[in-house]
Amino acid sequence: MPKLPQISGKDMGRVLARLGFILKSQRGSHMKFVRLHDGVKEIIVVPNHKTLRKGTLGGILKHLNINLKKLSELM
């Protein structure tokens, strides 16, 4: 399995925007993104850090059900 890239929370926010998410709110350094997908409200919280930790990034990608190739295409 290829290594996860080092991306910032701001970059992850741009990827989420391309997937149809909207920045709903921010409290401190945590940004809350929301989208309505197939009638279901999806919420993802992303820390606005310079570099996301591997576990955080992996969890977000798993929730979105996208792989590293798709992530690189969206960046």
Question: What are the pLDDT digits (tens) for 16-29?
Answer: 999 999 999 999 99
pTM of the model: 0.83
Q: What is the pLDDT of residues 26-67, one digit of tens each?
A: 999 999 999 998 888 999 999 999 999 999 999 999 999 988
- Identify the band that residue 4 occupies on the pLDDT scale cut at 50, 70 and 90: confident
**R_g of the chain, CA atoms, integer Å:** 12
Domain 9-66 part of CATH 1.10.3470: no
Domain positions in the chain = 9-66
Q: What is the pLDDT of residue 1?
A: 54
DSSP state of 6: -
Query: Half-sphere exposure (CA, 13 Å, Cβ side) for 65?
Result: 1
Asked if residues 50 and 72 have their Cβ atoms less than 8 Å apart, the reply is: no
Q: What is the pLDDT of residue 38?
A: 84
Tokens of 24: 């709903």
Q: Which residue, 9, 63, 2, is CA-closest to 31?
A: 9
